[in-house]
Amino acid sequence: MNSVSGHKTLQEVWRLGAERLSQAGVEEAAADAELLLLHLLGKSKAELLRDWREPFAAELEGAWEALLRRREAGEPVQYVTGEQYFYGRRFAVSPAVLVPRPETELLAEALLAAGDRLWPDSVDGGGGPTVLDVGTGSGALAVTLAAERPGWRVTASDLSPDALDVARGNAAAHGVDGRIWFVQGDLLKPFLAETEVEPIDILVSNPPYIPSGDVLGLQREVREFEPHLALDGGTDGLDPYRRMTADLRKLQKMPRVVAFEVGAGQADDVAELLRAAADWDDVGFVIDYAGIKRHVIAIR
């Protein structure tokens, strides 16, 4: 074990940790070391900066070493700390769910804007749309929409019961568990017309979209630690979109909004699948921080 206690300050411990992670090939070594230290100390970033020159407690050395070793081995920092922030809220995450990505926040923003435009009364808590989040994972999207718009009625589904457990916990943590219904099932199967479910106004999904042959080429953190069930989208990555767009007309009614997150280079193909499935007033794209068409949104 590399000793880091003694007279070393919190700042020195952070710097040495960042150097270790960098040598292990961690891309965001400094940021990840900071997140691990904040988690270990139970401090906010402001508190850590305030206490930079305070000594590092010797009794924390073993726990710090364990955190660094997990991250050095490639485990995502969010799994090590058990949390990720999304749309300003803390979400618990585990290896049962994908780590929520910042670009998915853009999808939440786009849905809130579309919903406010189509159901203006819901902005003030009035009658709002019914929303289905397919493949909810950690529940980040479903919980965010429910928390931001109390008048919206949200259902969250996932094929994985372990993922649904994580999502339920996040819904409870943010006080919306009484307004989100959780359903286990494969894509739209639980919601087809023969089932007794409420018609869907807004359908949103961030499904698996990595082509099967590309999964092994993903970065180590994703390939070795994130759930392949939530990654593998079939031969070309488009299987979930084909299945969902084919099932749209089997729902009790056609949603007014369908929004999908997609992989790089898939947006135009997914837009064509949506256009073939129904007549829309608009099929548009949301561009992410890297300039990629990351979300496809159809509205009627």
136 is in an annotated binding site: yes
Dist CA 193 CA 252 (whole Å): 5
Residue corresponding to tokens 């494969």? 186
268 is in an annotated binding site: no
In whole angstroms, what separates CA 46 from the centre of its chain? 26
Cβ(107)–Cβ(261) below 8 Å: yes
Residue corresponding to tokens 């109390």? 150
Determine whether 126 is exposed, middle or buried from the number of CB atoms within 10 Å of its CB (0-12, 13-18, 19+): exposed
Listed residue (256, 257, 265) closest to 292, CA to CA: 265
120 is in an annotated binding site: no
Dist CA 238 CA 248 (whole Å): 16
2 is in an annotated binding site: no
51 is in an annotated binding site: no
85 is in an annotated binding site: no
206 is in an annotated binding site: yes
138 is in an annotated binding site: yes
Residue 298 has what DSSP assignment?
E
151 is in an annotated binding site: no
139 is in an annotated binding site: yes
Residue corresponding to tokens 């009614």? 253
Dist CA 154 CA 246 (whole Å): 22
- Look up residue 22 and give its two tokens: 């960098």
Give backbone dihedrals phi and psi of 218, rounded to 5 degrees, phi first: -70, 160
Instruction: Please state the residue numbers annotated as binding site for S-adenosyl-L-methionine.
Output: 135-139, 158, 206
Instruction: Please state the residue numbers annotated as binding site.
Output: 135-139, 158, 206-209
Instruction: Please state the residue numbers annotated as binding site for substrate.
Output: 206-209
